[in-house]
Amino acid sequence: MSSHSAFAEAADALAASVLGALSGTGGAVQLARHVDDAPDTLAALAAVRVLGPDVFSPHLLHDAPFEAQDAAVVAKAFDAFPASGSSEEPAVAHRDHATVSLLARLSGDDTLRTLASAPPDGTALARSDDWSGWCVRMAQLAPLATPGLDGAVHEAARAGALSLSRGVSRSILRRDFPTAVRLVRWLALLQSEGAELPLDPDIAAEHAWLVGGAGPRTALDLAIARHFLDQRPGGAPKETARP
């Protein structure tokens, strides 16, 4: 098996584990045990980096405890796969910074913020006439549509609700359901904040699920979107950390 295949398989396995914790069918996610039990430790650490902020979902959505050994695993994953420079891969840099921001807050160790550099400015996120290209970038940044984060990416999403809605419709028509669900995740977050949307994210999510099905990572995106869809606008916001 190639390293790429092994990493993709490990990311799916970790996503399934996180999804099980969110749905209540798989118990708590224990990153340390997950990595220790994995047949390929390096692939398991790569999976932690691929999922990024989503590895914290059970802790952010259901207040599950976050253990010190799990924080150590996330830090070890950054040691194995160092963060990219913000100018090299802006989307990856944003995800990396969001990951370490949540890691520092959940662990109580602010020194962990140094694992990633500051995120790029919001210039690359500014909308243009190329709304489809902008939606591709926002789909890559869907892991930031999670409780406990706010920043330039979220401001771009709030300003681009119409473009996100167009992106969902276009992705469904192209049968690109993973991208559709990632964009629905942003719309679901906006709806939970009380935004008026040109497209109903609940209906779009249901359609993408029924017609396209989902692998573990897309199912995880959908579960997090469902969390936002189930929230009433105007509810008390959780503590947030600006990456």
Domain boundary among 61, 94, 120: 120
- Say yes or no: 207 and 174 in one domain: yes
pLDDT digits (tens, 9 = 90+) for 190-239: 999 999 999 999 999 888 888 876 789 999 999 999 999 998 564 444 44
Full domain range(s) for residue 237: 122-243
- Say yes or no: 133 and 227 in one domain: yes
- Say yes or no: 65 and 26 in one domain: yes
- Say yes or no: 213 and 110 in one domain: no
Residue with tokens 């990024």: 52
pLDDT digits (tens, 9 = 90+) for 145-187: 999 899 999 999 999 999 999 999 999 999 999 999 999 999 9
Collapsing DSSP states into helix, strand and coil, what is residue 145? Answer: coil
Res 238: pLDDT: 46
- Say yes or no: 34 and 20 in one domain: yes
pTM: 0.90
Q: Domains in the chain: how many in total?
A: 2
In residues, how long is the chain? 243
- Say yes or no: 243 and 126 in one domain: yes
Res 87: pLDDT: 59
- Say yes or no: 205 and 195 in one domain: yes
- Say yes or no: 137 and 104 in one domain: no
- Say yes or no: 55 and 163 in one domain: no
- Say yes or no: 127 and 224 in one domain: yes
Residue 126 predicted with pLDDT over 90: no
- Say yes or no: 171 and 115 in one domain: no
pLDDT digits (tens, 9 = 90+) for 85-114: 655 688 899 999 999 999 999 999 999 999
Using CB atoms within 10 Å of the CB of residue 20, give its burial: 0 to 12 exposed, 13 to 18 middle, 19+ buried. middle
